[in-house]
Structure 1
Amino acid sequence: MFKTILVPTDGSALSDKAITAAIEFARLTGGKIIGLSVAEPYPYSPLSEGAMTNDSAEYEEKMRQMARAHVLKIADAASAAGLQYSTYVTESFSPYEEIIDVAAKQGCDVIFMASHGRKGLNKLFVGSETQKVLGHTTIPVLVFR
């Protein structure tokens, strides 16, 4: 049975749906929740002059603050349900790699995550983080739509 559940969140309504389901599942099975939000670094070009400006520092701090707020939502829900939990905020241009890495390091049995349902050419060329996780992890992933 799944006892250690990773719940990555981007703060979206679909992520909230995954959080709610993960909390209920953990409550019913005596599991533990691992919350994760990945902050996106400033998208600068290292070739541009003055790439690291005050704007980039402000942007990155805002992204970290948002990520902390996202995992706080998980912590509050897990605490209210009386569950064991841990939360992590990481920073990466590649959220799916962070999700897989945290799942491995924390010994997660399953990942509960949202799908944003990209369609058409965008799905083929960009691919969602959920699809990338599905394609690169060996642990089960429960996707919420």
Structure 2
Amino acid sequence: MYQKILITTDGSAVSKHTACAGVKFAQQMGAEVLVLFVAPEYQYPVYVEIIPPSYPIEEEYVETMQRTGSDHTAPILRSAQQAGVKHAAMTAFANSAALKIVQVAEEESCDLIFMGSHGRSGWGQLLLGSVTNKVLSHTQKPVLVHRLIQEPGA
């Protein structure tokens, strides 16, 4: 039914549990997975006339976020490898994670987007799920929203 599943992660414990559930789902479907981490785009300081020396340059920021993306996707890739699921990962940059998820799903010809009902976001529980809601409203692809019954470690 599904050949290629896009699994999203933001690096949180909830997201990692959801992603591993996505890998199990892909294994059952006989599908491959593409694990996606979306990092915010580089922001220049706008309220200062001189950039502080401690502020990272764009290249340093990109390298750091690529490493962060690799760190966040590595356990999911290990899970896919152990399950015998064909896998790949990517880190993308965008100010809107939801729109980037939709774009990557289109560009990479994914049949399904697998994501959690909650992840990690600025104001905790108030905004948790906002990325999922935005993906649901901006894509025509099927989205499987995974919901944890209890927090990891609970």
Using structure 2 for the length normalisation, give the TM-score.
Answer: 0.77
Q: Cα–Cα, structure 1 residues 109 and 43, in superposed 2: closer, same or farther, change >3 Å?
A: same
Higher helix share: 1
1:97-129 CA distances to partner (integer Å, 9 max, x unpaired)?
21111101111111111122889xx55xx9711
Matching of residue 22 in structure 1 with residue 22 in structure 2: yes
1:90-129 equivalence runs, <5 A: 90-116=92-118, 122-123=126-127, 128-129=130-131
Give the structure 2 partner of residue 40 of structure 1.
40
Tell me whether 32-41 or 49-58 shows the greater mean CA deviation: 49-58
Give the structure 2 partner of residue 131 of structure 1.
133
Matching of residue 143 in structure 1 with residue 129 in structure 2: no
Give the structure 2 partner of residue 75 of structure 1.
77
Give the structure 2 partner of residue 10 of structure 1.
10
Give the structure 2 partner of residue 87 of structure 1.
89
Whether the 8 Å CA contact 1:40–1:60 is kept in 2: the answer is: no
Deviation at 1:144, TM superposition (A): 2.1
- Distance in 2, matches of 1:4 and 1:141, equals 13
- Distance in 1, matches of 2:47 and 2:129, equals 27
- Distance in 2, matches of 1:42 and 1:54, equals 15
Instruction: Look up the equivalent residue of 1:25 and give its one-letter code.
Output: F
Aligned residues: 142
Determine helix, strand or coil for the equivalent of 2:84. coil
Deviation at 1:47, TM superposition (A): 6.4
Give the structure 1 partner of residue 49 of structure 2.
49
Tell me whether 4-13 or 40-49 shows the greater mean CA deviation: 40-49
Supply the RMSD in Å over aligned alpha carbons.
Answer: 2.7
Tell me whether 60-69 or 32-41 shows the greater mean CA deviation: 60-69
Q: Cα–Cα, structure 1 residues 131 and 49, in superposed 2: closer, same or farther, change >3 Å?
A: same
1:35-82 CA distances to partner (integer Å, 9 max, x unpaired)?
100112344445642358542335554333211111222211111111
Deviation at 1:21, TM superposition (A): 1.6
Q: Cα–Cα, structure 1 residues 13 and 105, in superposed 2: closer, same or farther, change >3 Å?
A: same
Task: Structure 1: state its 5+ residue gaps.
Answer: none
Instruction: Look up the equivalent residue of 1:92 and give its one-letter code.
Output: A
